[in-house]
């Protein structure tokens, strides 16, 4: 298992003790576990309150190695059997705290047990960058899938845009602008397409990702490299919006505070701004509350987690996309190269690894 002792430390591969499986547990032999920008921020210490040491990996697909007698079905009621391929929702609520008992429509628990975010004293196995992940309560949310591991590993990152668009009420015929063409941005394009958006515009780069955005459903792409000026990008985006009036929804999938005013400027009156990109604290944005929000009657939707319902729909989306989803996965690496994987996501690295442009990197602990 890959272990990080603290911010700035090197990722280290250590022997993983075989987890003990209790009656209400499910043990997953990891096939693939994604590397995401959040993992870079965990390594850098950008997430307030984050505790170490940690074995990262919150995007997990694998096969059931052992299933406890009380862990009978997945979230949808399908029986879970040894050998089944499953995707795992990383966060398990305790089910008893005041937030859980309020049962609001947003995912909320005071004591989430999060695979890939938790310390060894509190859970036997860590995150997906190891051979085994333990779902340590029957409240854990797993889903049996027939998708390939390369498609299924995208269910977790797809859940954020799916949750955001469902909460914002993005509907058939809407116009959607996606800021950013990393994994979340590309999956936001796919989610907008799946919801029946009539006009989808994506701002991002480099060129290969813009082509993938088009394959996944973007009608128009705007290259950051080709159009480095923010005001010019706003002009181009508005020109591509229906009637030049702006977009019903704008999804922030960059994770850089500076893009907020640009995205808000592209919002149609009454539109929704979806904040999907900032899972860590990387600074502040300057916005004009009148011009960007009030004058537009704007609605702000921020997503820090998702419901099992959104996760399931995200899984159905990537299952249906199949090879188109798999094309997002560019690198499959052994645990010993986890540090390189994380480093490749750092800004200024040209997003190159082994001479190939980085899309979604996955760790395969069997390599
Ligand atoms: Zn709770």
Tell me, in angstroms, the distance from the centre of ligand 1 to residue 78's CA. 25
Instruction: Report how far ligand 1's centroid is from the alpha carbon of 82 (Å).
Output: 29
- Distance (angstroms) between ligand 1 centre and the Cα of 101 equals 7
User: Does position 80 have pLDDT exceeding 90, yes or no?
Assistant: yes
pLDDT at 287 over 90: yes
Predicted confidence (pLDDT) at residue 350 exceeds the cutoff of 70 = no
Give me the helices (H) in the chain, please.
37-44, 98-102, 149-152, 155-168, 183-194, 207-216, 230-240, 259-265, 308-321, 323-326, 338-344
Q: How far is the CA of 103 from the centre of ligand 1 (A)?
A: 9
How far does the centroid of ligand 1 lie from the alpha carbon of residue 162, in Å?
Answer: 23
**Percent of the chain having pLDDT more than 70?**
99
| Domains defined along the chain, listed by start | 2-154+328-363 (3.90.180.10), 157-302 (3.40.50.720)
pLDDT band at 346 (very low <50, low <70, confident <90, very high): confident
Q: How far is CA 83 from CA 66, 79, 104, 107, 144, in A?
A: 8, 12, 35, 29, 10
Report pLDDT for 27: 96
How far is ligand 1, taken at its centre, from the CA of residue 119, in Å?
A: 18
CB atoms within 10 A of CB 23: 9
Distance of CA 125 from the midpoint of ligand 1 (Å): 21
Distance in Å, CA 109 to ligand 1 centroid: 4
Task: Specify the range with the lowest mean pLDDT, choosing from 62-66, 218-222, 325-329, 351-355.
Answer: 351-355
Lowest mean pLDDT among 119-123, 222-226, 256-260: 119-123
Is the separation of the CB atoms in 338 and 162 below 8 Å? no
Separation of CA 92 and ligand 1 centre (Å): 9
* CA of 320 relative to ligand 1 center, distance in Å: 33
Tell me, what's the pLDDT at 141? Answer: 94
To 5 degrees, how large is the angle CA 343–CA 345–CA 350?
95
Mean pLDDT of the 126-137 span: 93
CA of 216 to the centre of ligand 1 (A): 36
Distance 99 CA to ligand 1 centre (A): 6
What pLDDT shows up at residue 349? 63
73 CA to centre of ligand 1 in angstroms: 21
Pairing outcome for strands 175-179 and 113-114 = unpaired
- Ligand 1 centre distance from Cα of residue 170 (Å): 29
Mean local confidence (pLDDT), 340-359 = 84
pLDDT bin (cut points 50, 70, 90) of residue 105 is confident
Ion ligand 1: residues, CB within 5 A, are: 93-94, 97, 100, 109
Distance in Å, CA 35 to ligand 1 centroid:
27
- Going from the Cα of 279 to the center of ligand 1, the distance in angstroms, rounded, reads 20
Q: How far is the CA of 81 from the centre of ligand 1 (A)?
A: 28
- Are the C-beta atoms of residues 55 and 147 closer than 8 Å to each other? no
- For residue 107, the CA-to-ligand 1 centroid distance in Å is 10
Judge whether 124 and 15 are in contact, CB under 8 Å.
no
Q: Position of tokens 């923010």?
A: 230
pLDDT of residue 102: 86
Task: For the chain, give the mean pLDDT.
Answer: 94
* pLDDT-wise least confident of 22-36, 68-82, 118-132, 163-177: 118-132
The CA distance from 101 to 108, in Å, is: 9
What's the CA-to-centroid distance between 139 and ligand 1, angstroms? Answer: 11
Query: Is-contact 57 33, C-beta < 8 A?
Result: yes
Report the pLDDT averaged over residues 88-111.
88
Q: Ligand 1 center to residue 102 CA distance, Å?
A: 9
């Amino acid at each position: 298992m890959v272990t990080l002792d603290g911010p700035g430390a090197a990722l280290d591969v250590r022997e993983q003790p075989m987890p003990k499986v209790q009656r209400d547990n499910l043990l997953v032999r990891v096939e693939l576990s994604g590397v995401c920008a959040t993992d870079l921020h965990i390594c850098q210490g950008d997430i307030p309150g984050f505790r170490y040491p940690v074995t990262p990996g919150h995007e997990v697909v694998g096969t059931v190695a052992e299933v406890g007698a009380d862990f009978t079905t997945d979230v949808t009621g399908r029986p879970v059997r040894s050998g089944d391929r499953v995707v795992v929702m990383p966060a398990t609520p305790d089910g008893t705290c005041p937030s859980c008992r309020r049962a609001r429509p947003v995912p909320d628990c005071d004591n989430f047990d999060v695979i890939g975010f938790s310390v060894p004293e509190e859970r036997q196995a860590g995150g997906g960058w190891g051979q085994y992940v333990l779902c340590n309560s029957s409240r854990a949310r797993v889903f049996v899938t027939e998708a390939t591991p390369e498609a299924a590993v995208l269910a977790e990152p797809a859940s954020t845009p799916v949750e955001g668009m469902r909460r914002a009420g993005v509907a058939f015929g809407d116009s959607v602008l996606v800021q950013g063409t990393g994994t979340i941005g590309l999956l936001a394009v796919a989610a907008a397409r799946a919801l029946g958006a009539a006009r989808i515009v994506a701002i991002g780069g480099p060129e290969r990702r813009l082509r993938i955005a088009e394959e996944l459903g973007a009608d128009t792409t705007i290259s950051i490299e080709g159009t480095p000026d923010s005001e010019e990008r706003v002009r181009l985006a508005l020109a591509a919006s229906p009637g030049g009036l702006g977009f019903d929804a704008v999804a922030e999938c960059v994770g850089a505070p500076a893009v907020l005013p640009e995205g808000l400027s592209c919002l149609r009156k009454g539109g929704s701004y979806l904040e999907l990109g900032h899972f860590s604290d990387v600074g502040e944005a300057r916005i004009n509350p009148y011009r960007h929000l009030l004058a537009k009657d704007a609605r702000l939707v921020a997503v820090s987690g998702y419901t099992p319902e959104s996760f399931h729909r995200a899984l159905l989306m990537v299952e249906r996309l199949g090879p188109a989803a798999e094309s997002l996965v560019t690198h499959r690496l052994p645990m010993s190269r986890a540090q390189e994987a994380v480093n490749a996501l750092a800004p200024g690295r040209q997003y190159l690894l082994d001479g190939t442009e980085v899309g979604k990197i996955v760790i395969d602990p069997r390599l």
